Amino acid sequence: MELLCIQSQEHPELPLAELKAVMECENIDAQLESVCEGIAILKNISQDKFDEYYRILIKRLGYTHEVHELILETSVDTLDNDVSQIDWSCYIDKTFAVRVKRIHSQIDTVGYERKLGTLILENCDDIRVNLSKPNTLVRVAAFENNLYVGIERLKLNKKHFEESKPHKRPFFYPGSMNPKLARCMVNLSRIKEGELLLDPFCGTGGILIEAGLIGCKVVGSDIYWKMKNGTAINLEHYGITDYRTFHLDVRELKMYEKVSSVVTDPPYGISTSTGDVDGDEIFKEFFKAIYDNMKDDAYLCMASPHYVDLKPMVKEVGFEIVEQYGIKMHRSLTRIISVIRKKLN
């Protein structure tokens, strides 16, 4: 069995990197094929694991917009014949609608929605089209002249990332990370449901919200009292109760339990993260402080500005950089998302 993932094209690498990280930490046994930027397929999934994997992906992923059961790979030239080979009664519950999404394709969207709808009707009895409230959505992802036809079994909650933007939370402070990137960073840290995640610069709690929503235990700390309190307010607002927040300097951090991952967005170039330290020293102090608070082989995912070279800092402490991705913010700043692993002693 196969799953079709329609991904965001907001960044050329992060959606696929996030998917790979979730597959790794959740032990998803499947072959990953990247068709193009925006389309990925999980192949060779055993039937007994299919529903489990499907539910994991829709619960966790931030930069994947849709996940569907893939039932047909075809092309504009072979569509008619290939559609006739499928028993659509196994997939369609009384009513259906066809929706086409083009990704680097010039096909006529409306025309192919009508064409595929007609072909399905011709090859299946006792069903009808319902464009407003179909029982079954037939989703087609079109890349060039190739068509990937899927059935939506479970819905991703795409509204969450819009409704949980920083300015819509009970406690707001400028400069907070957007929830989709926060979710992606949580996933890049390879954290699992029930494990403990730390954000030692928690700010308004955006990263902790996303970790809590996928079932992690979360701990946040901040040097500013109002941020510590604001984080708690925001976590409670989203129904997250398995958390602790602390008002302290990261250099004083002594965790009661070593954490499975650290995900954070330290303030850059200003003396706010540790009160009396700025510049590169913020990051050096940070790495030293968290090392002993992390489990062996745990992951850290963090954001930093492009002008800070993290490599010598992490090497000195005992970390190693696994992956890095750049996000252009404006002309003079690129935000680097680094995935860093604590090396085994």
Q: What is the mean pLDDT of the chain?
A: 94
Quick one: pLDDT at residue 270? 41
**Could you tell me the CA-to-CA distances from 315 to 86, 263, 295, 298 in Å, in that order?**
55, 19, 17, 15
Q: What is the DSSP letter of 55?
A: H
Please state whether beta strands 31-36 and 196-199 pair in parallel, antiparallel, or not at all (unpaired): unpaired
Question: In this model, does residue 280 exceed pLDDT 90?
Answer: no
Answer yes or no: are the C-beta atoms of 319 and 298 closer than 8 Å. Answer: no
Quote the CA–CA distance of 149 and 99 in Å, as a whole number: 10
Quick one: pLDDT at residue 279? 61
Question: In this model, does residue 331 exceed pLDDT 90?
Answer: no
Q: What is the DSSP letter of 167?
A: G
For residue range 73-97, list pLDDT tens digits in order. Answer: 999 999 999 999 999 999 999 999 9
Quote the CA–CA distance of 76 and 40 in Å, as a whole number: 20
Angle at 273 between CA 21 and CA 205, to 5 degrees: 50
Quick one: pLDDT at residue 344? 74
Taking residues 229-246, report their average pLDDT: 97
This prediction's pTM: 0.95
Answer yes or no: are the C-beta atoms of 234 and 205 closer than 8 Å. Answer: yes
Tokens of 31: 């072959």
Answer yes or no: are the C-beta atoms of 140 and 112 closer than 8 Å. Answer: yes
Contacts 24+ apart (CB under 8 A), 168-172: 169/204, 169/234, 169/237, 170/233, 170/234, 170/237, 171/204, 171/205, 171/229, 171/230, 171/231, 171/233, 171/234, 172/204
Taking residues 259-265, report their average pLDDT: 97
Question: In this model, does residue 157 exceed pLDDT 90?
Answer: no
Quote the CA–CA distance of 336 and 323 in Å, as a whole number: 10
Taking residues 329-342, report their average pLDDT: 93
The residue that leads in pLDDT, 310 or 282, is 310
Answer yes or no: are the C-beta atoms of 247 and 228 closer than 8 Å. Answer: yes
Answer yes or no: are the C-beta atoms of 145 and 105 closer than 8 Å. Answer: yes
Taking residues 129-154, report their average pLDDT: 97
Quick one: pLDDT at residue 267? 85
Question: In this model, does residue 272 exceed pLDDT 60?
Answer: no
Quick one: pLDDT at residue 276? 54
Find, among 268, 127, 300, 130, the residue nearest to 198 by Cα. Answer: 300
Instruction: Report the 10 Å Cβ neighbour count for 321.
Output: 14
For residue range 32-77, list pLDDT tens digits in order. Answer: 999 999 999 999 999 999 999 999 999 999 999 999 999 999 999 9
Helix (H, G, I), strand (E, B) or coil at 64: strand
Quick one: pLDDT at residue 34? 98
**Could you tell me the CA-to-CA distances from 77 to 114, 145, 149, 337 in Å, in that order?**
16, 8, 15, 42
Quick one: pLDDT at residue 273? 44
Quick one: pLDDT at residue 277? 56
Taking residues 20-26, report their average pLDDT: 98
Quick one: pLDDT at residue 9? 95
Quick one: pLDDT at residue 345? 62
Question: In this model, does residue 271 exceed pLDDT 60?
Answer: no
Question: In this model, does residue 256 exceed pLDDT 60?
Answer: yes
Quick one: pLDDT at residue 329? 87
Taking residues 268-278, report their average pLDDT: 50
Tokens of 234: 């925001």
Helix 206-213 crosses helix 179-188 at what angle (to 10 degrees)? 60
**% of the chain with per-residue pLDDT over 90:** 90
Quick one: pLDDT at residue 330? 85
